[in-house]
């Protein structure tokens, strides 16, 4: 995906006002040298979304809301990668700005809402690396009511490197065009790979920023960060976990 093209996209980050204003930043460079693959055959995987109604028992229960305390509509999506660490987008944590004005919102074993206080946000200096870290004040292992939450493991570099155009892809998160706090499983196919940038058909919307991306085997290969506005003919975007992203995560996990 070319940088000037990326800057024309509608970023799908926080809902920062009642009018649904989204963040305006955009990535302008790649973290990996470009090696573009594009779909040249007719799409065979139908794009669709389905609500995950019982979050507590779902294998995706470790995917949480990163919720603004000050703005009910201000949220992004994050995924637990360790008991006290979630992965999301850089533009989510820089948009929320202050850790003490946000919480990580998840559910206990009975499906009841639990808000977890945040210790700090960590964002890379490089704006093109749209990855952010959320550190909790206490690990979820300190609360037995959260022992059911699934910590997602990042796929091996070898698995990520084998990702190709026309592969199945799944994004799981909290889209802002659906009822607030509802978790959605969005499925589609990869349309293009340019370096570590992905273009795919699984529909996402404002609030989905930071949603983990999975392949057909359930391996977490990347993270969602942008889309166009057209949910009828969706075009969504994300980042594969390349060496640079992995190094940043490993440093702060």
Which domains, and CATH codes, for the chain? Answer: 9-15+34-53+153-242 (2.40.10.10), 63-152 (2.40.10.10)
- Going by pLDDT thresholds of 50, 70 and 90, the confidence category of residue 38 is low
pLDDT of residue 253: 87
As a whole number of Å, the end-to-end CA separation of the chain is: 28
What would the two tokens of residue 1 be? 């995906």
Q: Which residues are part of the catalytic machinery?
A: 91, 130, 209
- β-pair type (48-52, 236-240): unpaired
Distance CA 160, CA 190 (A): 13
The distance of Cα 76 from the centroid of its chain, to the nearest Å, equals 8
- Closest among 77, 12, 31, 62 to 218, alpha carbons compared: 62
233 versus 58: which is more confidently predicted? 58
202 versus 1: which is more confidently predicted? 202
93 versus 43: which is more confidently predicted? 93
pLDDT of residue 51: 97
**What would the mean pLDDT of 187-199 be, rounded to a whole number?**
96
pTM value is 0.86
- Going by pLDDT thresholds of 50, 70 and 90, the confidence category of residue 21 is very low
pLDDT of residue 226: 93
Residue pair 88/14 in contact by the 8 Å Cβ criterion: no
Distance CA 168, CA 39 (A): 13
Cα-based distances in Å from 154 to 7, 74, 141, 218 = 27, 27, 20, 10
- Going by pLDDT thresholds of 50, 70 and 90, the confidence category of residue 192 is very high
Residue pair 68/14 in contact by the 8 Å Cβ criterion: yes
What would the two tokens of residue 74 be? 């201000």
**What would the mean pLDDT of 32-48 be, rounded to a whole number?**
53
pLDDT at residue 3 is higher than 90: no
**What would the mean pLDDT of 2-23 be, rounded to a whole number?**
38
Helix (H/G/I), strand (E/B), else coil: 91:
helix
Distance CA 68, CA 11 (A): 18
Q: State the chain's mean pLDDT as an integer.
A: 85
Tell me the per-residue pLDDT of 55-111, one tens digit each, with 9 for 90 and over.
Answer: 999 999 999 999 999 987 889 999 999 999 999 999 999 999 899 999 999 999 999
Distance CA 244, CA 248 (A): 6
12 versus 183: which is more confidently predicted? 183
- What percent of the chain is predicted at pLDDT more than 70? 81
pLDDT at residue 14 is higher than 60: no
């Amino acid at each position: 995906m070319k940088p000037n093209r990326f800057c024309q996209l509608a970023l799908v980050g926080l809902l920062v006002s009642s009018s649904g204003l989204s963040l305006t930043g955009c990535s302008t460079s790649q973290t990996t040298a470009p090696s573009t693959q594009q779909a040249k055959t007719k799409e065979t995987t139908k794009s669709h979304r389905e609500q995950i109604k019982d979050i507590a028992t779902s294998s995706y229960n470790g995917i949480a809301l990163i919720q603004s305390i000050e703005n009910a509509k201000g949220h992004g999506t994050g995924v637990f990668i360790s008991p006290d660490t979630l992965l999301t987008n850089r533009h989510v944590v820089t948009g929320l700005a202050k850790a003490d004005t946000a919480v990580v919102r998840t559910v206990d074993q009975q499906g009841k809402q639990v808000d977890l206080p945040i210790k700090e946000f960590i964002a890379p200096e490089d704006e093109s690396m749209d990855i952010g870290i959320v550190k909790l004040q206490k690990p979820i292992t300190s609360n037995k009511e959260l022992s059911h939450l699934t910590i997602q493991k990042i796929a091996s570099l070898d698995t990520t490197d084998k990702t190709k155009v026309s592969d199945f892809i799944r994004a799981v998160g909290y889209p802002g065009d659906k009822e607030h706090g509802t978790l959605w499983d969005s499925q589609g196919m990869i349309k293009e790979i340019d370096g570590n940038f992905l273009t795919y058909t699984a529909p996402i919307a404002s609030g989905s920023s930071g949603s983990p991306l999975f392949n057909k085997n359930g391996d977490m290969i990347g993270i969602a960060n942008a889309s166009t506005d057209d949910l009828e003919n969706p075009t969504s975007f994300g980042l594969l976990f390349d060496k640079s992203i992995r190094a940043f995560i490993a440093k702060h996990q």
